[in-house]
Structure formats: structure tokens, C-alpha cells
Amino acid sequence: MNKLKYIFIATALGLSFTACDDDHQPDWTETAPFDVNAVEQSLADGSTMVSVSTNTIEVLYDTKIVINPAVSVTLNGEPLETEIKDDNRLVAKVELRKGKNYVFVIPGRAVTGVGSKTFAKEIVINFSTEKSVLDKTNLATALVNPNASASAKAVYNMLVQNYGTKQLSGAMGAVAWETSFSDLVAEKAGKYPAIVGFDYIHLDNSPSNWIDYGDITPVKNVWNAGSIPAVTWHWNVDHEVFATETVMPSDWSNNVQLTAGALGSLPTVFQELQEGSVITVKIKDVAAGAQGSVKNSSWSELAPGLDYFDISGDEFTVKISTGEMLEQIKTEGFIISGHDYTVSSILVGKTCKESKGEGFIASNVLIPGTRENAVATADVAKLAGYLQLLRDADIPVLFRPFHEAVGDYTWGHWFWWGNSGVETTKELWKWLYNTLTNDYGLNNLIWVWTMQTSDEGKLADVSKLKATYPGDEYVDIVGADLYEAALSNQSDRFHLIYEAVGGKKIVALSECGNLLDPEIAEEEGALWSFFMGWYEQNDNGPGFFEWNLNGEWSTVLNNPLVLNRGDFSVK
């Protein structure tokens, strides 16, 4: 079919497209040809600041024209869709991106005049598109803590200087106070991330034989090697699933049934438990010889040794030690029994995920005398002790607590610090900032607030971001946690956050699964200050198992827009 089409066109023009001399003159045997000339074009050669809304490039000729289907009109070497309008106007459809250089070419054998038996001369148009430049006019040039350490100031100043033009790479070290994941990234990409992430998620377990935040060697090594430490705090708290004083008399006649049969449905926290989780039973009025008992819903012992055991003090604990034990609790629940003591509270597990009204109420943290206030105050004191070790070693930290508090504005919060509403979360942030800064003197912290950009899975309205923001005087950097398609463009979310803070704060990609495309972001004036690739290592050995499976780490870390370890200095 294509062959017949070419024959038809060649016949109509009275020439052969396959034979021409060096001047692009076709063979002819009849009348002499006449010239075909371009007389007008929509873009001049050398044009700059061309709008990306431009969707066609047009060239007007001085006669009726025909396009040779065997020769492509191109933009940066890629063929374009073309058509003829008004008999003598060639129209090429284009899709342009900001901040790019382009070469538009109509080859010498692409266009001829009807009956001319000759080709129009080649046309080459070099041009560049407009480039978005991030407006840093309102950007804060100093940290919110007036007593910030010199090293913290140096890190922040470096971020300010590079904001909008360069992006710092980042990867979690791992989830247990070490750097196996960032090491893996460096191995695969050939560059070590500029920022390395840590997490105080295991605060309750430290110090132990497998996690000790008191040993700051991993963080010190990262800092001394030229990377910046970043710390998230997945703040785990107990779930209180029972809080009614219940007397266990000497005749074993009472009990607490936390079973599906007794409650109708089990507390949702039971589904978050795992092997190693702990059930804590708070007790009082313990008589001599008192015993506890933990049974399953069939009144059999939940696990060996839990039928009858001696108790004393103000609590006893039960560790979920086997998969069978865990499955019984998840599907059936458990029963607390025994004699000669009073149950005052039952706490299950430790997690940062918690629903309102089910165990740990965020608003109670701010009320002295509540269980939540006592727990939170103790946890912050323990955390502060570990952060002071970093301060004393003059190590600055990008500190990100209370992240993702809102979750999705319509679908609800994800963590306990969001379970009493956004006003409480803002007050919690201010309380923690004042406590760590003023009470504990932690002047090495750079405070990173995570803004949520999702509302029913769609882009949220800027008013919602503003309403959930603690205030400029408590935040140094604002970020987003995004798990989007690999090397995609999320500039709309960057600009949403930028607008919410009026350009006053650095905007960062504080957590991500798939890495985003820095080139598109830079073209659209939306280059995140830094990104933090979340941990993803396989138990079967080093390797990425969910995101960035096609060399994205190498692609991004080797992009000239991205700064890695060794590309900057803050000392």
C-alpha cells in the first residue's frame, strides 16, 4: 500500500523522490522546475524563552506544497506529526518542556511544490524554551533556633545556597542504626548519598544486644565521611485496650475477656502485633501468693507456662513468642485471669500506628497527670539523652518527628500523633520543639515538618496545608513523603507546599519510595532541596525488592543536578 502511495505522489509531481543530485534537484524530462521557497516561519532561528504552551511550529511557502512521506520532519532527531494547511503552510505538532534546547529540522527532500519538480531548501531552527526559576526572595536565611550550633547553621546555609539549582541525594542507612542500605545504594550507583537516614523507631528496645542508640558510631562515621545525618522518629507507644479496675478475688471468680466473643470484635491493634510484641498487665493490691493466668478464648493456656504463675509489683508482662500464639491473639483474643490482685490496665504491643479512642490519645500527652503525658515525657527524656550525644560530638541532624500526621485529609490520620486532630498535632510539635530546644539544649537539630498533599487520593487544596502547619517560627524545612511512579514528575506537589509556606521555607522530598526525575523538576522550578529514599532491602540478601528496580539510583545520583557525598562541604 505504501509503495502505491509513493508512486501516486511521484506521478502527481512528475518526478522521482529517489533520484537527486547534490543540490537536491530531482530528475525531470519535461518542463523546467520552479523554486519553492519558505517565506515565513513561526519561530526564528536562535529564539529563546519560547513558551512551552507552543504546540506547533509552522512554515509558510510561496506556493502550494506536498510533503514527502519518506522523509521526516524532526525535533531533536525525533519524527513529528505534520500536515498542510491552506495548501502552502506546513504545520508540525510539538510538545515542549521548560528549560530545554531544541533543533527543528525540515530536511531538504521533505517539501516540494505542486508541479515544481524540485525540493525546497532545508530549514533548521535552533531555539530554547522558557525556564522556571525558583523565587527565593522570601526564603528564610537562618534557622528558627537563634542558638543553633555552627555546624547546623553550616548545613542549612549550604542547603539555601543550592536550593533551586541542585538537589542533594539521600537514602536511609537502614532501620536498625546502621548503613547497610545506603552502602548498597552507593555500590549500585557508584556515588554515596549526600544524606543518610536513621530512625529512633526502636527507642524502647535501646540499649540491648541488637540496638543501642547510645553508640553513635554509625552517625559519626556518616558525618565524618562527608554526608549529613537525618533522623526520623517512628514514635512507638503502648495501646491501652482495657482501663477498668477489675478485682481478681481469691476464688478465681473474675476475669477480663478481650475476645471476639465477649467484645463483638477485637481491637484493631491486635492485627498489628507480631512475634516479640508484649502484653503488659498493670496491677495493684497484690496479695501474698497472688497468681496470674493468660488463656485463649477456649480457656486453655495461651502458651506453656501461662496457666498459673506468681505475680508481684505493679505489672506483669507476656511476650508473644511463637507464631501459633500470635495467630490465636489475632483471631480469638485472650483472657486475663488469676487471683488476689486487681487489674488496672492492659497494654498491648508498641507501635506508632494508633486510632483515636483506642489506647493512646494524642491530646492527653499535653495534659499533666495522664498516662499519655507520663509515657511521652519519659520517651522524650530518653530520646533527648541520645540526641545530646550527637550534639556533644558536634553532629548536626535533620530531625523529622511527627511525620505524616494528617495522612489523607479526608481518609484520616496514619499515626497516633494525628488521632486527636490537626490542632493537637501542631501543639505536640511546638511542645516537642520547645522541650528539646529550651529544656535539653539541642541546638544541633534542623527541624523538618512533613506536609501532606493528598485529599481523597488527589491533590489537596492549599488551605488545608496551611491549616495543619505549626508555624514558621517552629519549622526550618517543609517536606512531602511521596510514593509515586519511578522518575515521575511531582512538580504540582512541590508548588503546592511552596505556596502553603509562601516560599519562606526550603521544600524537600522528605521520604520517597521511587525516585523522581530531577530534570523535569528543575525545568519547572520545582527541584526538591533533597530526597530521602526509603529503606528497601531483601532478607535474602542485598538488593532492591520493591522500588527502583531498573537502575534509577544510578540514573539519579549520576545526574549533574544531584549532589552526592564529596560534592559539597559543610565543615
* DSSP H or E run through 259: strand 256-259
| DSSP string covering 262-329 | HHSS--GGGGG--TT-EEEEEEESPPTT-EEEEE-TTSSBSSTT-SSEE--TTEEEEE--SHHHHHHH
Which cell numbers hold the place of 288? 501474698
Neighbours of 468 (CB within 10 A): 21
Separation between Cα atoms, residue 256 and residue 282, nearest integer Å: 13
Mark out the alpha helices in 100-237 (DSSP H runs).
150-162, 180-189, 217-225
Half-sphere exposure of 331 (CA within 13 A, CB side): 8
Residue 113: what are its φ and ψ, rounded to 5°? -90, 150
Nearest to 246 by CA among 283, 221, 213: 283
Note if 122 is an active site residue: no
Count H helices and E strands in the chain, helices first.
12, 32
- CA distances 231 to 3, 174, 401, 515, Å, are 66, 11, 8, 19
Separation between Cα atoms, residue 355 and residue 373, nearest integer Å: 17
Note if 272 is an active site residue: no
Separation between Cα atoms, residue 152 and residue 143, nearest integer Å: 8
**Which of 372, 404, 519, 552 does the annotation list as catalytic?**
404
Say if residue 207 is preceded by a cis peptide, omega within 30 of 0.
yes
Note whether 74 and 92 are within 8 A (CB): no
Which cell numbers hold the place of 25? 534537484
Note whether 21 and 108 are within 8 A (CB): no
**Which of 240, 354, 511, 522 does the annotation list as catalytic?**
511
* Catalytic residue positions, numbered: 404, 511
